[in-house]
Chain A
Amino acid sequence: MVTEIFQPKKILCVPLDPVHDVGIKLINAELVKHGHTTELLAPDLPIESIIKKAAAGRYDFILVSRTLGYGIAELLARFVDQLDAAGIRERTKIVIGGKAVTPELAAELGFDKGFDEHASIEHITAYIEGREAAAQSASIKKVKKNIPSGHSYTFHHKEIEALLERIVDKTLRWSEGKTTPGIRRAHLREEILHTKENAKHEQLELQYHELCDREIVEGNSEHHFPKGVRIVRNDELNDLEKMLNSHNPHNPVTIQHNAGQPLVFKFLGSGCPVMDIMHGKICERWGIDGFLIINPSWEARYEGLLEGMLTHENDGTITSLENIRLMKRWLDPATLLTVRAHRGLNTPETTLLAGEAGADLTKIDLVYGSLGAGTDPERLTMDGIESIRIAGKYKMAFDIPGNDELSGVPAWKTLAGLLINVMLGKKLGTHAILKPLFCYGPHIVLNGQMKLNFVDYNAAKIHALKEIVDCPIWPGEPIAFMTQTEDRVQSANATSYHASLAASLGVDAITIASTDEAYSRGPISIASRIDSIRAVTDAFRFMGNADIAPTPAMQAFKNQLIEKITETLRAAAEAEHLPDAINKGILGNAEDGAYPGKFGKGTVTSAGIQ
């Protein structure tokens, strides 16, 4: 800012670097804008020529740009000595800026001031003008995005719409008058959470535990937890609070280069909510828009959920109400949070807890939950329908991950399954979000759809879905699944290429892996999380508003996908209801590598029998 006491300075800008002079050109331009008189020399002039020039003019400042490297310190020291010898130092301040420059090193070499590569032009200009630099915004104020907004959920493909209506209507009719232990526990949990009367509370807890497996009852009543689980101690919570109250995001980053690029999500599920929160806060600073809480696989197999703030030694964070609330408390209000609910026997209750804790989304896929995640199709259909209702009650959208493709299910069957979920959401008044995979799945490997490139078939999935329905699309889960290795550069590259494709296709959001995603013997590290975020940030900058052009094969793949999705749904519409279609293998069969799950088999009962 130019002030009343402003006095223009005379400045010599010296790019000592043989090639790179962009930084000093930008500084020079800004100084000129501020009304200073500057002269910008050509890069890499001999020191003697620079000294001659500096001696001829009476400069207030000489700004030198130079990356510090091998043997450069000696060159700079010689430069300062010659300025001294020419008597220039007496009237002129000498400043250096560039990579690897530190204030200490600059002083050691005899410069009056040094700026590293992170110094802003404002800081340098403020130094020249002898004032404090204007305070930079401590944080980027994000606005929470509502992913379903802007989508009408109108089906453009009328035959598919009619088939989905038939399948869903039959399924909803089949579900009437039935219940499961999971549904009953969700209802009890809701009562427990809203009952203040002690006696009633205890009675409800007893009823709840009657519907739970022994391990859950022992955990909740005796704190005898499954192996590796323990309560988060108060001192750990206090230390976390102190840590987060004393640290704030520094120079926060936005991943997107323009507003049209997708939101970027990451998983949280180290096992420990304290570690998850630290990872979450750091990822927020690097620009992440939201997180998916991933629970341990064993949690899904028990009837009933553990209560309390709990940590767990292995992969997956326990989705207790207290754990979700803890994460919600510390994450930025604009950060979106989705809780995985659909993988087991606690789907309705997990959705309820997500809603109670203030989560924004929940993850439910009736088909994948039955075919790839081990739950009995009848049980998960009942529980899933109730969960979608609960999600609607809490105004949460639900995202539908098509991860059954990873078992070997063809993409068209997976996409047909996703669309059934969308119609269920529509009928039950809850917004769904399609999550087709960007993956090199087994069926694709065997059938060669990605033999020539990874672009056409992934793009075909998105174009096919867009042609069928106007619904948000969020490729996952994570993008580039089965293309990543343990090599961090390869993994970051694979993620960034797929993110570029997603941006080019105009999807709403993506889930990205960390660069250690393919490493299966331990949890994700924060450094690996930052790696892939940086890769996507650069990819979005690289793409900007440009597009990736698929080959003509994409159209053929897209048409084939729509045709086969329609065929799949025709067959499913002939089944008695969704669980029947799943059990008959219409949405994925043994030949594909998909088997109906067994957990919770035989637990769907008449609502009158308890």
Chain B
Amino acid sequence: MENSSAFDKIMDGLDIETYLVCSDVQEGKRLALQLGKEMNLGDVDIMFEEFDGYGMRVRLRKYIYKPGNAYRWLK
């Protein structure tokens, strides 16, 4: 139990909500995807993004499990 990964205990998905300073929508999206990689999450989905001129409000999602996967938190 002590050795189990906290990731294993995420029920389904992990959301990251933040504000990225950027110059346009394309840069914001690129940074959002890069953030997922820099956080070792691999490919993340951009669920929501809104560029306001100074940066982008984003909500990123990484699914840990797809439906039907073996849920490690169930063990």
Q: Which of A248, A251, A252, A527 contacts B57 (CB 8 A)?
A: A527
Q: Is the pair B23, A247 in contact by a Cβ cutoff of 8 Å?
A: yes
Q: Is the pair A530, B23 in contact by a Cβ cutoff of 8 Å?
A: no
Q: Which residues of A contact B43 (CB under 8 A)?
A: none
- Listed stretches B4-12, B31-39, B46-54; interface member: B46-54
Q: Which residues of B contact A281 (CB under 8 A)?
A: 54
**Nearest B-chain residue to A530, judged by Cβ:** B57
Q: Is the pair A285, B53 in contact by a Cβ cutoff of 8 Å?
A: yes
Q: Which residues of A contact B57 (CB under 8 A)?
A: 527, 530
Interface 1/0 per residue, B46-75 and A, CB below 8 Å? 000011111101000000000000000000
A252 to B54, CA, bound (A): 11
Query: A267 within 8 Å of B by Cβ?
Result: no
Of the candidates A285, A286, A527, the one having the most CB atoms from chain B within 10 angstroms of its own CB is A527
Q: Which residues of B contact A248 (CB under 8 A)?
A: 53
**Nearest A-chain residue to B50, judged by Cβ:** A118
Of the candidates B17, B53, B57, the one having the most CB atoms from chain A within 10 angstroms of its own CB is B53
Q: Which residues of A contact B19 (CB under 8 A)?
A: 282, 525-527, 530
Q: Is the pair B23, A251 in contact by a Cβ cutoff of 8 Å?
A: no
Q: Could you say which interface size class chain B belongs to?
A: 10 to 19
Q: Which residues of B contact A278 (CB under 8 A)?
A: 54
Contact A282-B52, Cβ < 8 Å, known A247-B23, A527-B57, A530-B57: yes
A-B pairs under 8 A by CB, number: 34
A195 to B71, CA, bound (A): 75
Query: A20 within 8 Å of B by Cβ?
Result: no
**Nearest B-chain residue to A244, judged by Cβ:** B54
Query: A246 within 8 Å of B by Cβ?
Result: yes
Query: A53 within 8 Å of B by Cβ?
Result: no
Q: Which of B17, B18, B54 contacts A285 (CB 8 A)?
A: B54
Q: Is the pair A251, B52 in contact by a Cβ cutoff of 8 Å?
A: yes
Query: A249 within 8 Å of B by Cβ?
Result: yes
A408 to B55, CA, bound (A): 41
Q: Is the pair B18, A527 in contact by a Cβ cutoff of 8 Å?
A: yes
Contact A249-B23, Cβ < 8 Å, known A527-B17, A527-B18, A527-B57: no
Query: A158 within 8 Å of B by Cβ?
Result: no
Q: In angstroms, how far is the closest chain A Cβ from the Cβ of B52? A: 5
Q: Is the pair A249, B53 in contact by a Cβ cutoff of 8 Å?
A: yes
Q: Which residues of B contact A285 (CB under 8 A)?
A: 52-54
**Nearest A-chain residue to B53, judged by Cβ:** A250
Q: Is the pair A286, B52 in contact by a Cβ cutoff of 8 Å?
A: yes
Interface 1/0 per residue, A391-411 and B, CB below 8 Å? 000000000000000000000
**Nearest B-chain residue to A118, judged by Cβ:** B50
Q: Which residues of A contact B53 (CB under 8 A)?
A: 247-252, 285
**Nearest B-chain residue to A99, judged by Cβ:** B48
Q: In angstroms, how far is the closest chain A Cβ from the Cβ of B55? A: 7
**Nearest B-chain residue to A278, judged by Cβ:** B54
Q: In angstroms, how far is the closest chain A Cβ from the Cβ of B32? A: 13
Q: In angstroms, how far is the closest chain A Cβ from the Cβ of B22? A: 9
Contact A250-B52, Cβ < 8 Å, known A527-B57, A530-B57: yes
Q: Is the pair B17, A249 in contact by a Cβ cutoff of 8 Å?
A: no
Q: In angstroms, how far is the closest chain A Cβ from the Cβ of B69? A: 15
Q: In angstroms, how far is the closest chain A Cβ from the Cβ of B72? A: 23
Q: Which residues of B contact A247 (CB under 8 A)?
A: 23, 53-54
Q: Which residues of A contact B54 (CB under 8 A)?
A: 247, 249, 278, 281-282, 285
Q: Is the pair B52, A249 in contact by a Cβ cutoff of 8 Å?
A: yes
Q: Which of A430-477 contact B (CB under 8 A)?
A: none
A525 to B20, CA, bound (A): 12
Q: Is the pair B23, A246 in contact by a Cβ cutoff of 8 Å?
A: yes
Q: Which of A243-296 contact B (CB under 8 A)?
A: 246-252, 278, 281-282, 285-286
Q: Which residues of A contact B51 (CB under 8 A)?
A: 250
A278 to B50, CA, bound (A): 17
A51 to B52, CA, bound (A): 40
A293 to B45, CA, bound (A): 38
Q: Which residues of A contact B17 (CB under 8 A)?
A: 527
A214 to B42, CA, bound (A): 55
| Contact surface of B with A, Cβ cutoff 8 Å | 17-19, 23, 50-55, 57
| Contact surface of A with B, Cβ cutoff 8 Å | 118, 246-252, 278, 281-282, 285-286, 525-527, 530
9 A-B pairs (CB sep. < 8 Å)? A247-B23, A250-B51, A250-B52, A281-B54, A285-B52, A285-B53, A285-B54, A525-B19, A527-B57
Other CB < 8 Å A-B pairs besides A249-B53, A526-B19, 20 of them? A118-B50, A246-B23, A248-B53, A249-B54, A250-B51, A250-B53, A251-B53, A278-B54, A281-B54, A282-B19, A282-B52, A282-B55, A285-B52, A285-B53, A285-B54, A286-B52, A525-B19, A527-B19, A527-B57, A530-B57
